[in-house]
């Protein structure tokens, strides 16, 4: 069973730039969620994708956007980067549509915005 994989592991960007983070979901999972974890905080929900559609969104501005592909992999795009976007970005997959289903996380992408 292949787990959730994320790339890249680390990234340094400049304020105002754009970034794309990638995620491959665990085999058998068709739902992908993205979370942002700032230093000393718990993960915060950004959005979720199910069957290539956004299925729910947290309190993040529209410059955070995403995609899910037919193979259930996903991308997180952030435009006009701000210093506060520096965080660990976690992708998690789960069994499709089932609300009471644990999330299985990847190891994250550490984004630093300077």
Partner 1 sequence: DQQVKQNSPSLSVQEGRISILNCDYTNSMFDYFLWYKKYPAEGPTFLISISSIKDKNEDGRFTVFLNKSAKHLSLHIVPSQPGDSAVYFCAASEPGTYKYIFGTGTRLKVLA
Chain contacts with partner 1 (rule: CB under 8 A): 4, 6, 31, 33, 35, 40-45, 48, 50, 55-56, 58, 90, 92, 99-100, 102-108
End-to-end CA distance of the chain: 38
Nearest distance, CB of residue 1 and partner 1, angstroms: 14
Q: CA 39, CA 62: separation in Å to the nearest integer?
A: 23
Q: Select 18 or 57, whichever has its Cβ closest to partner 1.
A: 57
Place of tokens 């990638």: 22
Nearest distance, CB of residue 103 and partner 1, angstroms: 7
Among 23, 112, 36, residue whose Cα is nearest residue 68? 23
Q: Select 43 or 85, whichever has its Cβ closest to partner 1.
A: 43
Q: CA 33, CA 49: separation in Å to the nearest integer?
A: 6
């Amino acid at each position: 069973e292949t787990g959730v994989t994320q790339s890249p592991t680390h990234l340094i960007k400049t304020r105002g730039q754009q970034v794309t983070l990638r995620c491959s979901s665990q085999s058998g999972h068709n739902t992908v969620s993205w979370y942002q974890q700032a230093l000393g905080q718990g993960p915060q929900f950004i959005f979720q994708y199910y069957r290539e559609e956004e299925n729910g969104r947290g309190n993040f501005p529209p410059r955070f956007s995403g995609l899910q592909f037919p193979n259930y992999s996903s991308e997180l795009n952030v435009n006009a980067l701000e210093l506060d976007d520096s965080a660990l970005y976690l992708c998690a997959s789960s069994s499709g549509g089932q609300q009471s289903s644990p999330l299985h996380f990847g190891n994250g992408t550490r984004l630093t915005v300077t």
